[in-house]
Amino acid sequence: MNAPVKLAITLDRLALRQRAEISSIDWTAMSDNEGARLRALGLDEGVSVEKLHKGMFGFNDPIALRIGRMMIAIRKSHASAISVVLPA
């Protein structure tokens, strides 16, 4: 039996209130300091995230995420460097 294929999308395109798992992060799309900050906040491959809110006025920046019991805000440019897969 074949395993179901999980479709990956970037975190900035994830629907609001949707949960997903981080499948990969393009660390080269951000500075070393920005990458270290995101890692310190708990963003890494395999982590479960939920997109809670996005910025106003069509800019969609920043994006609020729930990681565990913590809520953080990241830039849309960083969210576009993070690939996620939806739960099966």
Q: What is the CATH number of the domain that holds 77?
A: 2.30.30.90
Residue 35 CB contacts under 8 Å (≥ 6 apart), including other chains: 27
pLDDT of residue 4: 66
pLDDT of residue 33: 95
- Rounded percentage of the chain residues whose pLDDT exceeds 70: 91
Whether 43 is covered by a domain: the verdict is yes
Say what the pTM is: 0.86
Whether 3 is covered by a domain: the verdict is no
The rounded distance, in Å, linking the Cα atoms of 74 and 43 is 10
For 78, the domain range is 8-85
DSSP code at position 4: P
pLDDT of residue 18: 92
Going residue by residue through the chain (88 aa), what tens digit of pLDDT does each one get? 566 667 889 999 999 999 999 999 999 999 999 999 999 998 999 999 999 988 776 677 899 999 989 999 999 999 999 999 998 7
Whether 23 is covered by a domain: the verdict is yes
